[in-house]
Amino acid sequence: MRTFLLSLFMCSAFALASSGAAAACVVPGRWLEPGQGEAEPAPLLERMSRKSVVLLGETHNEAAHHVWQLDTLRALHALRPDMVIGLEMLPRAAQPVLDAWVRGELGEDALFERSRWRQVWGVSSDLYAGIFRFAREHRVPLRALNVERKVVREVTRVGLAGVPLAGREGVGDPARPLAGYTAWLQQIWGEHMPAGKASADGAFARFLDGQLLWDRAMAEALAGAARANPAALVVGLMGSGHVIHGYGVEHQLRDLGVTEVGSLLPWDADGDCGDLVAGVADAVFGIAPGERRRAVVPQ
């Protein structure tokens, strides 16, 4: 059960809730700043390009979200060509493979085989291939943001205090969670745990520790990339649940002293309009049902 829940929360379950409503609350192909209204793409993206770190959310198995990410990367790169792309999908051990890919030393089959993509991520590599090709085409460094899944599983099993620094791949102690994050995760936890087990044996507290470690690992890697090259725009690709309301990775980045953080999310046509409140992200982009490609800036 613990392994099942870890997979559930860290992967596809971090999609934003769907309401099933017929009318989209964000016009497909348009940007919206929650709490303010529609935003023109050029000034919005220009503002984002001046950040130290920009987080792009996703639902991992939604092809249209990765098309949107690639379009957004292209637009930001045009404004600030010095860029680094961070990937939630791969653990730090994959870094030499990413470096070799960007240098042009590997084919795609070798990239995904040597990075253990299928084992560590499990979502079709085809959905991400365009992003990898973009990085190599423009020699944009790629950074593996994650730790091995077994590290987070162990924290979820015994709690953060039970796993020493040496067993966390060097990830430090996370900042304690914002109250909204704890409440949100507690709600989702209760909805997915079997009746009577949602609060048993401190399991949620340990799960929360695992989530915080995951957020902290990504934040430390992003912060490290930003400090190594202050001239670069560091863009992190990750599940939307690590991005919304600044609860997850952004909160940890700020604790690390990185305060110029932007957050952008794809918003599906059936997304719950009640979730579209001020602070959920700096801006969201409307995704049409079955959408394959739509530019985020005027051509």
> 278-287, pLDDT tens digit by residue?
999 999 999 9
Return the domain boundaries, the chain. Answer: 2-12+49-287
pLDDT digits (tens, 9 = 90+) for 35-48: 999 999 999 999 99
Q: What is the pTM of this model?
A: 0.91
For 257-270, what is the mean pLDDT?
96
DSSP 232: S
Sheet holding 37-39, edge to edge: 37-39, 31-33, 283-287, 261-268, 53-56, 233-237, 83-91, 142-146
For 239-258, what is the mean pLDDT?
98
> What mean pLDDT, rounded, does the chain reach?
89
238 CB-contact burial (10 Å; exposed 0-12 / middle 13-18 / buried 19+): buried
For 135-153, what is the mean pLDDT?
97
pLDDT digits (tens, 9 = 90+) for 158-192: 999 999 999 999 999 999 999 999 999 999 888 87
- Band of pLDDT at residue 289, cut at 50, 70 and 90: confident
20 CB-contact burial (10 Å; exposed 0-12 / middle 13-18 / buried 19+): exposed
- Band of pLDDT at residue 201, cut at 50, 70 and 90: confident
pLDDT (0 to 100) of residue 192: 79
- Band of pLDDT at residue 197, cut at 50, 70 and 90: low
Q: How far is it, in rounded angstroms, from Cα 23 to Cα 244?
A: 22
CATH 3.40.50.11550 fits 2-12+49-287, yes or no: yes
For 124-147, what is the mean pLDDT?
98
DSSP 297: S
pLDDT (0 to 100) of residue 20: 42
Which one is predicted more confidently, 228 or 15? 228
Q: Which of 225, 220, 229, 280 is nearest to 252 (CA)?
A: 220
Q: Which of 292, 287, 288 is nearest to 58 (CA)?
A: 287
Grouping H, G, I as helix, E, B as strand and the rest as coil, residue 25 is coil
pLDDT (0 to 100) of residue 10: 45
With a pLDDT cut of 90, the percent of the chain lying above it is 79
- Contact criterion met (CB below 8 Å) for 225 and 234: yes
For 259-265, what is the mean pLDDT?
98
